[in-house]
């Protein structure tokens, strides 16, 4: 048995040697360095051989299990966003981008080494339980998340519908730790919500439209286009797009959304990797019909991440929208998903996003034109307003007492633009 194993690894080394023979022959001077490929692969295969030969539990030494474990460790050591996905994880990711998947409805990331809630998705168990952006997940079903990889945490959060999951949450804003018991559901995400013309008691004589984009998935641009048609049919003169707590999603969806407001073939974002040849530009579709150039505001905050930041950065740089709110999350790295032969996949960070004005998004975020913050009570009220009729009488009273000062600033900005535009047109009418 041992002889067969040794021969197997000698064969593996021979194949590797043939595959990288040119590199081995031309880089012999680097043989003693830490980055010598052949020598380090020999260490890896020797360790794998010893595990197969001598580890006490024979149920844990299958080639697949060992290979998957090695890949998980390899990817998680690179950065919080690179990860190895087993075939079931890869299928789950595909389901998520189609707007339907099983879980708790909590978007998480690693921030300063801590598993942190980026945003709870609306109409999901996490949202209804009152979990907030910025909450830190200390334990999942009693298992500490300290040193846990992002993918391992996601695996614990997801599962079959109907199963209960206990999350131990620390909330930095009030320094409280609390257990939440949530039940998994099939998550169906409506990405465009609350499209309406704002009450004229707030907007005066102007018709200002409002809508929220909760995340960017496959149908988002189509849903948004339909809602814009409805608002324009009602006489909309200006628009507020709320991207607060939008954790992102598909890059192509974010670009398509920008295409509804920008001229065809306009560069929205570009990526740069290790080599200059890896630069790639993403343009709006040449076939999308451009809409009227109505005044526009985007609402953003620290929970606006990834795709939200791409949209915000592009529309700000290209002077198509005014940004109101707080600096965004700063998640601007590109993860390429590469499927492997057995149905598993690598999610690998390969580049960073840059706005049209060459501003890097990653770890910097997008700074608004008009800074406006919410108090902790106003932020809580904003989350509660989105719970669609699930409020208790006390919560309803609390919400009614709190203002959305960011939305108020957005309305004021649009009213100022429209008054200015009206004044600009009056002298031209007089000359005629």
The residues carrying an active-site annotation are 306, 317, 331
Locate all alpha helices (DSSP H) within 282-331, ordered by sequence: 307-317
Which H helix or E strand runs over 283?
strand 280-283
H-assigned helices in 98-149: 125-128
Beta bridge partners of 299: 242, 324
- Tokens for 397, please give them: 């009273």
**Cβ proximity of 108 and 117 under 8 Å:** yes
CB-facing half-sphere around the CA of 178: CA atoms within 13 A: 13
What gap in Å lies between CA 226 and CA 238, rounded to an integer?
Answer: 16
Tell me how far apart the alpha carbons of residues 296 and 284 are, in angstroms, rounded to a whole number: 18
Using the 8-state DSSP alphabet, how is residue 59 labeled? G
- Cα–Cα distance measured from residue 314 to residue 319, given in angstroms and rounded to the nearest whole number: 8
* Residue 46: its H or E element: helix 37-54
Residues 6 or more apart whose CB falls under 8 angstroms from that of 106 comprise 117, 120, 121, 124, 126, 131, 157
Scanning 269-404, the segments in alpha helix (DSSP H) are 307-317, 376-385, 393-401
| Distance separating alpha carbons of residues 51 and 44, to the nearest angstrom | 11
Could you tell me if 309 and 366 are in contact, meaning their C-beta atoms sit under 8 angstroms apart? yes
CA dist 272 and 279 (Å) reads: 4
- 400 CB-contact burial (10 Å; exposed 0-12 / middle 13-18 / buried 19+): exposed
Nearest to 121 by CA among 100, 102, 108, 106: 106
């Amino acid at each position: 048995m041992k002889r067969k194993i040794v021969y197997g690894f000698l064969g593996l080394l021979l194949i590797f040697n043939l595959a990288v023979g040119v590199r081995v022959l031309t880089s012999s001077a680097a043989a003693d360095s830490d980055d010598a490929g052949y020598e380090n692969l020999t260490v890896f295969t020797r360790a794998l051989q010893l595990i197969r030969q001598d580890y006490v539990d024979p149920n844990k030494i299958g080639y697949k299990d060992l290979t998957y474990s090695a890949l998980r460790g390899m990817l998680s050591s690179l950065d919080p966003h690179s990860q190895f996905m087993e075939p079931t994880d890869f299928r789950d990711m595909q389901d998520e981008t189609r707007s339907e998947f099983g879980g708790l409805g909590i978007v998480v990331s690693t921030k300063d080494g801590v598993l942190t809630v980026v945003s709870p998705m609306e109409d999901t168990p996490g949202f209804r339980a009152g979990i907030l952006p910025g909450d830190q997940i200390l334990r999942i079903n009693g298992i500490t998340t300290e040193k846990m990889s992002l993918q391992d945490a996601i695996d614990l959060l997801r599962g079959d519908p109907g199963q209960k999951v206990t999350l131990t949450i620390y909330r930095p804003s009030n320094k409280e730790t609390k257990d939440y018991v949530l039940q998994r559901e099939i998550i169906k995400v409506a990405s465009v919500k609350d499209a309406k013309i704002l009450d004229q008691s707030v907007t005066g004589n102007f018709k200002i439209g409002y809508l929220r984009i909760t995340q960017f998935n496959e149908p988002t641009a189509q849903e948004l286009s339909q809602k814009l048609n409805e608002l324009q049919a009602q006489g909309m003169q200006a628009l507020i797009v709320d991207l607060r707590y939008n954790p992102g999603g598909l890059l192509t969806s974010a670009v398509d959304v920008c295409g509804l407001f920008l001229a065809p073939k306009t560069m929205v974002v570009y990526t740069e990797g290790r080599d200059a040849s890896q630069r790639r530009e993403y343009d709006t579709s040449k076939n999308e019909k451009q809409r009227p150039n109505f005044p526009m505001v985007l609402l953003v905050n620290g929970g606006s991440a990834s795709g939200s930041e791409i949209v915000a950065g592009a529309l700000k740089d290209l002077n198509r929208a005014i940004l109101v709110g707080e600096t965004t999350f700063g998640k601007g790295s590109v993860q390429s998903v590469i499927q492997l032969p057995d149905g598993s996949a690598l999610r690998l960070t390969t580049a960073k996003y840059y706005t049209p004005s060459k501003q890097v998004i990653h770890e910097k975020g997008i700074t608004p034109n008009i800074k406006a913050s919410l108090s902790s009570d106003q932020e809580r009220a904003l989350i509660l307003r989105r719970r669609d009729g699930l409020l208790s009488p006390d919560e309803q009273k609390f919400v009614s007492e709190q203002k959305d000062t960011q939305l108020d600033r957005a309305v004021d900005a649009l009213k100022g633009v429209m008054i200015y535009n009206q004044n600009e047109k009056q002298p031209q009418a007089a000359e005629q």
